[in-house]
Amino acid sequence: MTRSRQAFALSFAAMLCACAAKPAVLTSAAIPVVHNQALPAPGGADMVGATRPYLIAPFDKLSIEVFAIEDLSRDEMQVDANGQLSFPLIGTLDVAGLTPDQLGDAIEMRLTGTYVRDPQVTVNLRETVSQVVTVDGQVTRPGLYPVMGRMTLQRAVATAGGLGEFANLEDVVIFRTVDGQRMAGLYNLGAIRAGAYSDPEIFSNDIVIVGDSQSRRMFRDLLRSAPLITTPLLILFRN
């Protein structure tokens, strides 16, 4: 371990002992700023429609049903790269950023009177390629998975087929960008399952790394000084 890393580890251990009430801030070349708190939720500028409820994004595939009018109903329609959708009779709609319910209302408004007396439109999401989370590391099926509704860390791991046979429950890293700030949250999955702290929420564009990995080894000195059994850690990277 280099002198700078030794100094950082010792400083961080002292900070944990001295600053229990207020999150402390450290600076370092490799890990510039550390807060002893949870990852914040990303803002709208950090992703394409990752708020709750789900917002339609480019390349999403939708099913649109106009009640009792089969000629207008569509089993699958894809939003184009500009966030637009072409619908029979009413032409092109700007749909990116709308919820499915809002799109249904917009179609009803365009159809009302001129084409249909009292249209009832239902819009459902069939597939999304824009709002996904990456789950990697010691899980059964690493890959990209859609984020629909509220997803937590445990649910993300379960969606990826659960933990691998030799997965390390102590080491889970979530990478996220909020308002242009790159950050990482360090968690102990075993502690979450035991109820030591809450299961963190996952948002689209997050990267979840489970178990021992190169990403986790970036923080090995920090983890030696501050085990994640009682609290998660938040790391802010210098931009």
CA distances from 211 to 24, 34, 142, 186, 206 (A): 27, 21, 12, 11, 16
Give the closest residue to 127 by CA, choosing from 60, 64, 75, 73: 60
For residue 67, how far is the Cα from the chain centroid? Answer: 34
Q: What are residue 143's phi and psi, to 5 degrees?
A: 165, -165
| Residue 227 predicted with pLDDT over 70 | no
Condensed to tens digits (0 to 9), the pLDDT of residues 123-172 reads: 999 988 878 899 998 899 999 898 877 899 999 999 999 988 777 766 78
Architecture of domain 3-46+131-236: Roll (3.10)
Residue 7, SS3 per DSSP = helix
DSSP secondary structure code for residue 45 in this structure? G
For residue 188, how far is the Cα from the chain centroid? Answer: 18
Q: Where are the domains of the chain?
A: 3-46+131-236, 61-127
Architecture of domain 61-127: 2-Layer Sandwich (3.30)
Q: Which residue has the tokens 């049903």?
A: 65
Condensed to tens digits (0 to 9), the pLDDT of residues 159-210 reads: 999 988 777 766 789 999 998 898 988 888 888 988 888 899 999 899 999 9
Query: What spatial distance separates the first Cα and last Cα of the chain, rounded to whole Å?
Result: 25
Q: Which residues contact 217 (CB under 8 A, 6 or more apart)?
A: none
Residue type, 5: R
Opening angle at CA 162, ends 214 and 174, nearest 5: 40
Rounded Cα distance between 151 and 215, Å, is 22
The lowest-confidence range among 18-22, 105-109, 116-120, 165-169 is 18-22
How high is the mean pLDDT of the chain?
A: 78
Question: Full-prediction pTM beyond 0.85?
Answer: no
The tokens of 58 are what? 């480019």
142 prior amide bond cis, ω within 30: no
Indicate the pLDDT class of residue 7, thresholds 50, 70 and 90.
very low
